[in-house]
Structure 1
Amino acid sequence: MSDRETVPPATPAGADSLRDEARRIAAGYAFTGPALDLGALLWDGRCQAGAPVRVPLAMLNRHGLVAGATGTGKTKTLQLIAEQLSARGVPVFLADVKGDLSGIARPGQPDDRVRQRAAEVGRQWTPAGFPAEFFALGGLGHGIPVRATVTSFGPVLLSKVLRLNQTQEQSLGLIFHYADTKGLELIDLKDLRAVVAFLTSDEGKGELKGIGGLSSATAGVILRSLTAFEAQGMADFFGEPEFDTAGFLRTAEDGRGIVSVLELPAVQEKPQLFSTFLMWLLADLFHDLPEVGDVDKPKLVFFLDEAHLLFDGASRAFLDSITQTVRLIRSKGVGVFFVTQTPKDVPAEVLGQLGNRVQHALRAFTPDDEKALAATVRTFPRSAYDLEEVLTGLGTGEAVVTVLGENGSPTPVAATRLRAPESLMGPVDAAELDQAVRASSLHDRYAQAVDRESAYERLSARPPEEREPARRQSGAGAPAKAPKEEPSLVEQVVGSGMFRSLARSVGTQIGREITRSLFGTARRRR
């Protein structure tokens, strides 16, 4: 936050017209329904405490962007919004890349700067902590481990993060289809490796013969991609117990929404791990949640800090998947906020779907900075401000805001002095974090990894007579048989010796229904 008064320049006009323009902007934020309070209007060099800048609660599933240069207050802004959502009974998901959001669980510390900011924006400040749970991808860091099985993750998303081409993606789809049909559980990456190796072996290559089979070259590409994938830390993410994403939709006993903080400092150098998790999580929620259309308040709001990590080096297929997910998940009552340095960090097709914008200060020290500034200004509606000058002059904890009003149309652009969060603006120490993790009702369910019998163990344990079906079916000197009509895929699957062996060991799992969503994820009854 800044102790100085920032003067947002306005378009030259008479004093009366300036006052009229300020009243018009303030009127654009005078909502009748529930709204979150961001701060107060900055106009003509002063903070207008009587002109609050707000965002309607019902519009927070229309997604948003919080952007600005390093040190301008982006993280505090998402913390401010998150704690107000929690107070309204809305669960929140925070991707904490830098590790400085855990303080949302503890009351803030009052000081002169906080008191001054509260007086400037005309709002009372009361220290408060909010109900929070802490998670970590695959247990990498401080938090309840979040894992997914390879089976549920599915071939579509896995192909995207492995950067397979269309032919390789189709082959991976056949591998998953075969495993689904045979009841072969793909729990972790070694299970997938085992199935790929079997389907390219002498005894297994005939299993997919009726639908084209799996070439050794394609299998090699998939296996090499898996090796690189594991080098990014993915082996820890895939496994059991698989996290039920409904755990992010909970409220506390007092009715406040639980803030789920995904601690990511341990994996900030592994952006592919972060991207993979996000894709699975959104696809899983999309599959499970019913269509709700317009709602009075969101079912869940995501805040994805350091969003550039999500898109850096992303494939075209990955971007298409994210774009489609963001577009469709709104109707499920889920809002997604991207937090990054400049709007250009977010692909245009995603940026166009972000109806709520909080733009902190930008710097223009280099020609590239100037281009980014000009591009940012063009993403805003026409306004009474000289935005290029305003955006380079904003202080810490100040921003240019436009949101979707209650009728769905953009509000006037408003330079805003933002409120201070009421929770602790900084991290809690590791010991306190670990204590909170152990105290969670989810800890016992997910803390300990389980490596039960799955595809790897079953394929490794096949008896010798089933590993050499060709030798077993035709003895020396046996008369040649007339050629038979090529069996169908179903006949191949049901008639294979491996199927009969697995049927005895898997039992009802083979008969279970595996459904895959349009994102390729599979769901099991929970």
Structure 2
Amino acid sequence: MDPILLGKGTTDDVPVTLLPALANRHGLVAGATGTGKTVTLMTLAEGFSRIGVPVFVADVKGDVSGLAVAGEGGGKLAARAAAIGVQDFAPEASPVVFWDLYGKLGHPVRTTVSEMGPTLLARILELNDTQAGVLDIVFKLADDRGLLLLDLDDLRALLNLVAAERKAVSAEYGLVSAPSVAAIQRALLRLSQDGGEQFFGEPALELADLMRVNHDGRGVVGILAADQLILKPRLYSTFLLWLLSELFGNLPEVGDLEKPKLAFVFDEAHLLFADAPPALRQRIEQVVRLVRSKGVGIYFCSQFPDDVPDNVLGQLGNRVQHALRAYTPRDQKAVRTAAQTFVPNPKLDVAATLPQLGTGEALVSTLQAGGIPSPVQVTKIAPPRCRMGAITEAERARVRATSPVGTRYDTPVNRESAAEMLAARVQAATPAGTPAAQQDGEGGFGQKVNEFLFGTRRRQGVVESVAKQTARNVGGSVGRSVGSSIGESVAGKVGKKYGGQIGNQIVRGILGGIFGRR
């Protein structure tokens, strides 16, 4: 199979390519803002698609969407392509499916609470160890009682059940405290406000729809609209980590293939590792190390190589390093780190060259036959055939109208799950006639009138205590009742309890303030 052409080396004047059989050894695309990382990702995605490899990439700035329409071609791009040696360069679009967690710029992406699992969910909710333990208990209780956890309403219903049966649950599963349950509920509220209501539910995403090949044998590029999602870094990184874990857990072992089953591009990779607890980092490292044998190649994209932990960085065999500007001590350290990660080239001083690379140039080293890294080359990256920029809303609408997944995910489904099942049990346990008995009593119309005039019982207590204190201060006594029908029906307990002279004055003052009487 023909290799993917990345560009042409200026050091040795040879083509720089990526071998499909070694593309599942993962990779890294790094560099400062404005140095050409996004264009490199688009060239890489096009190359995978042309050889029949599906791609999933997050579109953080909106310009990756240009893969869906043909570029202009001609002019400087055609001249650059000819100089690099791109065969039959012409404007061309790639087959694209748009996805969006919020369902606005693409098909909604959903998963169920059960599929997410307590570990990743605890990270989204930013729970401490104690609260994460309570969440583990909630999931275990749902399994034991046959309650489906599909959306956030189901999880709230289970939390309410745990709070109501806290003593029994603590005795069977471990200590559950009311503050921990309340903390999880507050975290769920924050997640709901961040868009979690749209993310959790059905129909859940099927991995097969991310691994499509069109009728021409080209891999479909799934583009996740992440311009708004990136503002919620925990939700963004946890979603992509969940997706990676799903691929790892559901795909069979295939070993080394002629080409990958899927290329997974993780933009803004530092968000995946920022503030991640050690256990989660260990899980990430495990998935990255082992998912290779499932036929999945992962490509991290970030500004600095050291944004990726050393244990993960060591698994990335294919490197594309754009310019790093050594303006600060942090930048200087990053330059030294990047230079040390490449196979040395006697013709090239990597540390001196890296800060001076131009836009569209990069230091590239890829795995060659036998899995041996090639010597690092200063490379002019080949231009993509698609548009290098964002598409219009009309163009996006046309692409969505011809989506191979149709409207399968566009309409949410709410089948019976934990929330509905628990609500039905409560209703079945409620004695017949209870709501009607409360129509005009406790909780009925009369109570609502009292609450409107005097507030809740807690606030009535304040009025009562003030009235008692006033009566004691002036030496009055509580004697007779208000005596008027309005005082009996509206004032209720306050009018009866403080029916003396002082009580009448307080009630008349309250009623006068409400109805505008003096």
- TM-score w.r.t. length of structure 1: 0.78
CA contact under 8 A between 1:58 and 1:406: conserved in structure 2? no
Q: Which runs of 5+ in 1 are unaligned?
A: 1-32, 469-526
CA contact under 8 A between 2:25 and 2:318: conserved in structure 1? yes
Is 2:94 aligned against 1:126? no
Hey, what does 1:214 align to over in structure 2?
176
Q: CA deviation at 1:464?
A: 5.7
CA contact under 8 A between 1:233 and 1:270: conserved in structure 2? no
Hey, what does 1:72 align to over in structure 2?
35
Hey, what does 1:37 align to over in structure 2?
5
Q: CA deviation at 1:413?
A: 1.0
Paired residue for 2:192, among 230, 234, 239?
Answer: 230
Paired residue for 1:436, among 378, 382, 399?
Answer: 399
Bigger Rg over Cα: 2
Hey, what does 1:257 align to over in structure 2?
219
Quick one: distance in 2 between partners of 1:443 and 1:112?
Answer: 37
Hey, what does 1:84 align to over in structure 2?
47
Q: Which amino acid aligns with 1:257?
A: G
CA contact under 8 A between 1:144 and 1:443: conserved in structure 2? no
Task: Write out aligned runs for 1:152-231 (5 A).
Answer: 152-202=115-165, 205-207=167-169, 209-212=171-174, 214-231=176-193
Q: Which runs of 5+ in 2 are unaligned?
A: 432-518
Paired residue for 1:314, among 271, 276, 292?
Answer: 276
Q: Deviations over 1:432-462 (max 9, x none)?
A: 2123223323232100122333211221232
Hey, what does 2:101 align to over in structure 1?
137
Quick one: distance in 2 between partners of 1:381 and 1:128?
Answer: 35
Task: Write out aligned runs for 1:120-519 (5 A).
Answer: 120-124=83-87, 125-139=89-103, 141-202=104-165, 205-207=167-169, 209-212=171-174, 214-384=176-346, 385-463=348-426, 466=429
Quick one: distance in 1 between partners of 2:337 and 2:175?
Answer: 50
CA contact under 8 A between 2:57 and 2:222: conserved in structure 1? yes
Hey, what does 1:489 align to over in structure 2?
none
Q: Which amino acid aligns with 2:94?
A: F
Hey, what does 1:26 align to over in structure 2?
none
Give the SS at the match of 1:154.
helix
**Greater fraction of residues in helix:** 2
Query: What is the RMSD computed on CA atoms of the aligned residues?
Result: 2.0
Give the SS at the match of 2:311.
helix
Q: Deviations over 1:374-417 (max 9, x none)?
A: 22212222222111221122111111111111201211111111
Give the SS at the match of 2:222.
strand
Is 2:23 aligned against 1:55? no
Give the SS at the match of 2:238.
helix
In terms of mean alpha carbon deviation, does 355-364 or 149-158 score higher?
Answer: 149-158
Q: Which amino acid aligns with 1:457?
A: E
CA contact under 8 A between 2:60 and 2:230: conserved in structure 1? yes
- Provide closer, same or farther for how the CA distance between residues 178 and 359 of structure 1 changes in structure 2, counting only shifts above 3 A: same
Give the SS at the match of 2:385.
coil
CA contact under 8 A between 1:298 and 1:335: conserved in structure 2? yes
Q: CA deviation at 1:239?
A: 1.2
Q: CA deviation at 1:467?
A: 7.3
Give the SS at the match of 1:444.
coil
CA contact under 8 A between 2:6 and 2:17: conserved in structure 1? yes
- Provide closer, same or farther for how the CA distance between residues 74 and 193 of structure 1 changes in structure 2, counting only shifts above 3 A: same
Quick one: distance in 2 between partners of 1:129 and 1:328?
Answer: 33
In terms of mean alpha carbon deviation, does 372-381 or 242-251 score higher?
Answer: 372-381
Q: Which amino acid aligns with 1:117?
A: R
CA contact under 8 A between 2:342 and 2:375: conserved in structure 1? no
- Provide closer, same or farther for how the CA distance between residues 462 and 213 of structure 1 changes in structure 2, counting only shifts above 3 A: farther
CA contact under 8 A between 2:255 and 2:294: conserved in structure 1? yes
Hey, what does 1:507 align to over in structure 2?
none
Q: CA deviation at 1:61?
A: 0.7
Q: CA deviation at 1:205?
A: 4.4
Q: CA deviation at 1:363?
A: 0.8
Q: CA deviation at 1:135?
A: 0.5
Give the SS at the match of 1:101.
helix
Q: CA deviation at 1:103?
A: 1.3
- Provide closer, same or farther for how the CA distance between residues 70 and 322 of structure 1 changes in structure 2, counting only shifts above 3 A: same
Quick one: distance in 2 between partners of 1:396 and 1:43?
Answer: 17
Give the SS at the match of 1:85.
helix
- Provide closer, same or farther for how the CA distance between residues 375 and 337 of structure 1 changes in structure 2, counting only shifts above 3 A: same
Give the SS at the match of 2:223.
strand
Quick one: distance in 2 between partners of 1:452 and 1:205?
Answer: 31
Q: Which amino acid aligns with 2:85?
A: G
Q: Which amino acid aligns with 2:141?
A: Y
CA contact under 8 A between 1:402 and 1:414: conserved in structure 2? yes
Q: What is the total number of aligned residue pairs between the two structures?
A: 429
For CA contacts below 8 A with separation 6 or more, give which structure has more relative contact order.
1
Q: Which amino acid aligns with 1:135?
A: W
Quick one: distance in 2 between partners of 1:315 and 1:225?
Answer: 18
In terms of mean alpha carbon deviation, does 121-130 or 277-286 score higher?
Answer: 121-130
CA contact under 8 A between 2:238 and 2:272: conserved in structure 1? no
